[in-house]
Structure 1
Amino acid sequence: MAFDHRKYVAFKPVAKTDRRWPDKVIETAPTWCAVDLRDGNQALVKPMSVAQKTRMFELLVKLGFKEIEIGFPAASQPDFDFCRKLIEEDRIPEDVKIQVLTQARPELIERTYEALAGARKAIVHVYNSTSTVQREQVFGLDRDGIRDIAVNGAKLVRDIAARHPETEWTFQYSPESFTGTELDFAAEVIDAVSEVWRPEEGQPMIINLPATVEMATPNVFADQIEWICDNIKRREHISISVHTHNDRGCAVAAAELAVMAGADRVEGTLMGNGERTGNMDLVTMAMNLYSQGIDPTLDLSGMAEITEVVEACTEISTHPRHPYAGELVFTAFSGSHQDAIRKCLARRKDGEIWNVAYLPIDPFDVGRRYEEVVRINSQSGKGGVAYVLERDYNISLPRWLQIEFSKVVQREAETNGGEIDSLTIHRLFEDRYLKVHADWALRSYDLHRDEEGVHAEVSVGRDASPVRLDGHGLGAVEAVSEALEKRFGISIAVEAYDEFALGEGTNANALACIRLTASGRHCSAAALAEDTTSATLQALFSAVAQAVGVDMPKKEVEVETAGA
């Protein structure tokens, strides 16, 4: 078989019995470093132009990133030129550090400092691969040879920086392919580099531990980070950074667990763009913290702008289910989900802790609207349909009518396929329940009490020849029903009746909904009017019309016209 699992071997976990990170809780955001302009850019089919890079850099600054990796200037002339553009045009805010990457090779390190000349603050990020497979199969070097590359690179980074005291330098070292490196050897190389840079004497130093290829479950990566934090020298003077990739689909989880294990800093990209399956998604991790009541120190409220810029610069579309940013992530099609969302939003008061079913955060916080939360298709139920009518048309339906009308909407969705928009839902409601035939339009009514209860005198029908009805009952509905039964020879049994006052500023101030059986036929109708009595009587007439026909019966009885 070509698909043969036997060619692989399980990753060997860390032999660790004193792990503490599972009991830790993230309480503050890590230091963020956005690497969209370097790691993200090198993964693109079509690398960014200078204009695209500039637009991405300005977005990152606007969002609040204080450390931004802008390129690999020694390896690419466009990266070199972009670095010079930012510095010479004074585009870098005073509180932002730019970061550049270089391999631990003398000519590349020299060129890197040329690109950074005149920068106020800069992080020089030097790396070499330390993993077993790279040592043995790529470089053909032993441990000493790999460690010497790192040490010699660290010395040159230190020495050239000393020639440029006008810049506030931070040194960063990455043992590339850290996850595939023996932990004792990774610690040995890190200690050798810190021996050169001497962070305890005041030189800011970052050790970046990359999951260059994600090789195991996030808990194993957390063990590796905690082991390094426990075993390297000068830990209290070193910022531990992580840079996770998404080969197993767990980059965000691995970074979160790494912070629990002691990491101080996280590198990633917006929307997770990066090589192979991508980098750690900064938007997702920062929003995860936000959803737990933790200040992410980034302003991600303009999610539409973020996705627009990322898509324009990377030429990669955002998946509609992308966490927090996708078009459909706050959308509920399921009927039970829609019903729960509608009820929770109706109960919620301003200023309360967010606690809404199926919505981990308030969509408004990232610039989304409640209109986008509930959308209707053939899978939707009564709650979603009712929510749309409430939200867009201020129409609240009783539960029995929610159930009945949702079936009308579902049939429409099944017939036409796809999503049913708000206008279509309202049209269906009007056609099925609100439409009033001229023969059954309420013209006038007079209700008063006498010794028999309520006496109703009602005029219904066309202006030219309205029909006058009168009847008695315990209430208005019963009195008019008695009048209809008497005049048209039908039997009426009201099964459900609800009336609602509508909000101010609407043309109609009341909605009435009624379900009845007339001569053995089940009928439902609704009506909008300026007062609840008018709405109630019109709903009653519209429901009866469904049973006896929309044309007013003329033959069963003698018709009295107004003024006769």
Structure 2
Amino acid sequence: MSTIIQPEKTIKIFDTTLRDGEQSPGCSMTLKEKIDMARQLEKMKVDIIEAGFAIASPGDFESVQTIAKELKETSVASLARALEKDIDTAWEAVKYAKRPRIHTFIATSDIHMQYKLKMDPEAVLERAVAMVKYAKRYCEDIEFSAEDATRSNPEFLHRIFEAVIKAGATTLNVPDTVGYTTPMEYSSLISGIREKVDGIHKVDISVHCHNDLGLAVANSLAAVKAGATQVECTVNGIGERAGNAALEEIAMGLATRYDYYGIKTGIDTTQIARSSKLLTAITGVSVQPNKAIVGANAFAHESGIHQHGMLANASTYEIMTPESVGLRTNAMVLGKHSGRHAFEDRLKTLGYELSKEEINRAFDDFKMLADKKKTVDDRDIEALLQDDVMNLEEHNKYKLQRFIINSGNTITSTATIALEIEGKVFEEVSAGDGPVDASYKAVEKMIKTGATLEDYKIQSITEAEDAQGEAVVKLKKGSRAVTGRGLSTDIIEASILAYLNAAQKLESISDEPPIRVIS
């Protein structure tokens, strides 16, 4: 008797960090940061990257188009409302991609149709079909989203899905736009779509869950179990309001519980930690220590009972290994006597593939840091590399030359700051409420951003008194809000660098507020 081998079930991972994720307050990214993040997502082997909402602003269009040209393998999608001008613009942005996708949407719930669209259901259905057909003239891969699907009438949802399949849609998205549904309800909705929509087995069923009730990942996994073949998610779960389903939790949930789901993704899970850290470095938004998969405490065991079990057998309290998500343990530390060969070997072990020029710059930064610290561990190296990736110094219009601080609890703090601005050196002195405030006031005298300091925080990269400090500032001017980052063993220097980094970003972001959508 011959054995029939069943094909392995896989689902697609659709990453919307650069579109839905960037809509999180304070998570705006520059063009270069979006490209760096897109490259990392491709390295992690996501199937589709939603690079943005092309018609939202000239900056969004440029970023989608640049990413489409840049990526080598991953599909690149742009969101578009069910309007001809949106679809035209989306195509102009993604047409250079190796695998372009147009993602168009329209609301289908009664509340959205009545109060937002002011259209009756038949008009919505007619518009959806017409716009899918219109998009189909441009490319083969068309995704259609029924906005607020989980609060829509299931019968109407079935009708509109059946109609857009006939019109040429290749993926149907069933978004839980406001994070309203529960796992059992969502599973039932997906099962109903699979059973009652004619032609559904020709297309992918996608799910896009928001986390308003803390159920985005649970709902997504329930939908996968019910037959969804694509999951839309973001790194670190960033996104509107309470965020989206977290990519790392979806990927590791399916990988760790393959015995239950029997479904795989194409994600290279060893790139998860780096993707999370890169996004944090770009946005300045850290994950909480107890965040699943990528939190600082995700693999920490402090309880004596847990530690005893871990020493006996790691699987007693660890259902996945740190290495499986790209974290390394018990790594040798480097110091000022470590040579170039050891440094390059560490970069390779960490999974970095850098050009000769990038290695030279990173090694120079490493040697400077090693002169200030006894030991340099992997977290220090990764922080340096993220610093280089963001080019905080080299391509910044503003370069810190020197600073002198006078501060104490019995005197008014003063700061003397010298900056190089487009080849000329300027120096200013200012007093302030503490050394950081004084430094920022002195800097403002020279660069005159006119921005408001919305947030400031400092944290250490590693332990001990010689740790590097990472400063993050958020500046806001009009509709523009940006996050800057600075790194140094001197926290005042890190703070000044973060402010200068944010000031540079302010100049690269348009004053015109982008069109924002929730899907």
**How high is the TM-score relative to the length of structure 1?**
0.54
1:247 is displaced (CA, Å) by 1.0
Tell me the residue number matched to 1:39: 20
Query: Deviation digits for residues 188-226 of structure 1, max 9, x if unmatched?
Result: 1112212222x6xxxxx0001101112132111110011
Alignment partner of 1:102 is 2:80 = yes
Kindly, what percent of the aligned residue pairs are identical?
Answer: 29
Alignment partner of 1:121 is 2:99 = yes
Matches within 5 A, 1:346-361: 356-361=315-320
SS at 2:179's partner residue? Answer: coil
Preserved CA contact (<8 Å) 1:127 1:174: yes
Preserved CA contact (<8 Å) 2:41 2:275: no
Query: Deviation digits for residues 255-299 of structure 1, max 9, x if unmatched?
Result: 111011111111101111111111111101101122235653211
Which shifted more, 66-75 or 291-300?
A: 291-300
Cα distance in 2 for partners of 1:40, 1:366 equals 21
Cα distance in 2 for partners of 1:49, 1:106 equals 28
Query: Deviation digits for residues 503-535 of structure 1, max 9, x if unmatched?
Result: xxxxxxxxxxxxxxxxxxxxxxxxxxxxxxxxx
Alignment partner of 1:280 is 2:251 = no
Q: CA, structure 1 residues 364+115, in 2 after alignment: closer, same or farther (shift >3 Å)?
A: closer
Tell me the residue number matched to 1:131: 109
1:368 is displaced (CA, Å) by 3.4
Q: Which runs of 4+ in 1 moved over 6 A?
A: none
Cα distance in 1 for partners of 2:309, 2:65 equals 54
Q: CA, structure 1 residues 121+255, in 2 after alignment: closer, same or farther (shift >3 Å)?
A: same
Matches within 5 A, 1:183-222: 183-197=154-168, 205-222=170-187
Cα distance in 1 for partners of 2:266, 2:284 equals 27
Tell me the residue number matched to 2:290: 321
Alignment partner of 1:92 is 2:51 = no
Tell me the residue number matched to 2:32: 51
Q: CA, structure 1 residues 303+124, in 2 after alignment: closer, same or farther (shift >3 Å)?
A: closer
Preserved CA contact (<8 Å) 1:252 1:285: yes
Cα distance in 1 for partners of 2:95, 2:45 equals 24
Preserved CA contact (<8 Å) 1:173 1:207: yes
Alignment partner of 1:368 is 2:327 = yes
- Structure 1 gaps of 5+ residues are 1-25, 162-167, 200-204, 346-355, 373-564
Preserved CA contact (<8 Å) 2:183 2:219: yes
Preserved CA contact (<8 Å) 2:54 2:78: yes
Alignment partner of 1:310 is 2:269 = no
Cα distance in 2 for partners of 1:108, 1:308 equals 33
Matches within 5 A, 1:69-468: 69-87=50-68, 90-93=69-72, 95-159=73-137, 161=138, 169-197=140-168, 205-293=170-258, 295-345=264-314, 356-369=315-328
Q: CA, structure 1 residues 65+253, in 2 after alignment: closer, same or farther (shift >3 Å)?
A: same
1:304 is displaced (CA, Å) by 3.8
1:314 is displaced (CA, Å) by 2.5
Preserved CA contact (<8 Å) 1:174 1:210: yes
Preserved CA contact (<8 Å) 2:44 2:271: no
Q: CA, structure 1 residues 116+368, in 2 after alignment: closer, same or farther (shift >3 Å)?
A: closer
Q: CA, structure 1 residues 304+40, in 2 after alignment: closer, same or farther (shift >3 Å)?
A: same
Query: Deviation digits for residues 387-423 of structure 1, max 9, x if unmatched?
Result: xxxxxxxxxxxxxxxxxxxxxxxxxxxxxxxxxxxxx
1:183 maps to amino acid: P
CA RMSD of aligned residues (A): 2.0
Preserved CA contact (<8 Å) 2:209 2:219: yes
Preserved CA contact (<8 Å) 2:165 2:200: no
Cα distance in 1 for partners of 2:59, 2:76 equals 16
Cα distance in 2 for partners of 1:221, 1:77 equals 37
Q: CA, structure 1 residues 193+367, in 2 after alignment: closer, same or farther (shift >3 Å)?
A: closer
Cα distance in 1 for partners of 2:11, 2:256 equals 15
Preserved CA contact (<8 Å) 1:32 1:67: yes
Cα distance in 2 for partners of 1:359, 1:118 equals 44
Q: CA, structure 1 residues 196+307, in 2 after alignment: closer, same or farther (shift >3 Å)?
A: closer
1:279 maps to amino acid: N
1:122 is displaced (CA, Å) by 0.7
Q: CA, structure 1 residues 358+37, in 2 after alignment: closer, same or farther (shift >3 Å)?
A: same
Q: How many residues end up aligned between the 2 structures?
A: 321
SS at 2:125's partner residue? Answer: helix
Cα distance in 1 for partners of 2:140, 2:289 equals 41
Tell me the residue number matched to 2:359: none
Tell me the residue number matched to 1:409: none
Tell me the residue number matched to 2:480: none
SS at 2:242's partner residue? Answer: coil
Query: Deviation digits for residues 346-386 of structure 1, max 9, x if unmatched?
Result: xxxxxxxxxx11111122323435569xxxxxxxxxxxxxx
Cα distance in 2 for partners of 1:242, 1:69 equals 14
**Larger Rg, first or second structure (1 or 2):** 1
Which shifted more, 210-219 or 43-52?
A: 43-52
Cα distance in 2 for partners of 1:368, 1:139 equals 47
Q: CA, structure 1 residues 325+118, in 2 after alignment: closer, same or farther (shift >3 Å)?
A: closer
SS at 1:331's partner residue? Answer: coil
Cα distance in 1 for partners of 2:266, 2:91 equals 30
Q: CA, structure 1 residues 220+92, in 2 after alignment: closer, same or farther (shift >3 Å)?
A: same
1:36 is displaced (CA, Å) by 0.7
1:306 maps to amino acid: S
Cα distance in 1 for partners of 2:26, 2:279 equals 14
- Structure 2 gaps of 5+ residues are 1-6, 332-519
Which shifted more, 71-80 or 305-314?
A: 305-314
Cα distance in 1 for partners of 2:55, 2:272 equals 34
Preserved CA contact (<8 Å) 1:121 1:169: no
1:28 is displaced (CA, Å) by 3.8
Say which structure, 1 or 2, has more relative contact order (CA 8 Å, 6+ apart): 2
Alignment partner of 1:30 is 2:11 = yes
SS at 1:38's partner residue? Answer: coil
1:135 is displaced (CA, Å) by 1.6
Cα distance in 1 for partners of 2:14, 2:51 equals 10
Cα distance in 2 for partners of 1:286, 1:86 equals 23
1:127 maps to amino acid: F
Preserved CA contact (<8 Å) 2:43 2:271: no
SS at 1:208's partner residue? Answer: strand
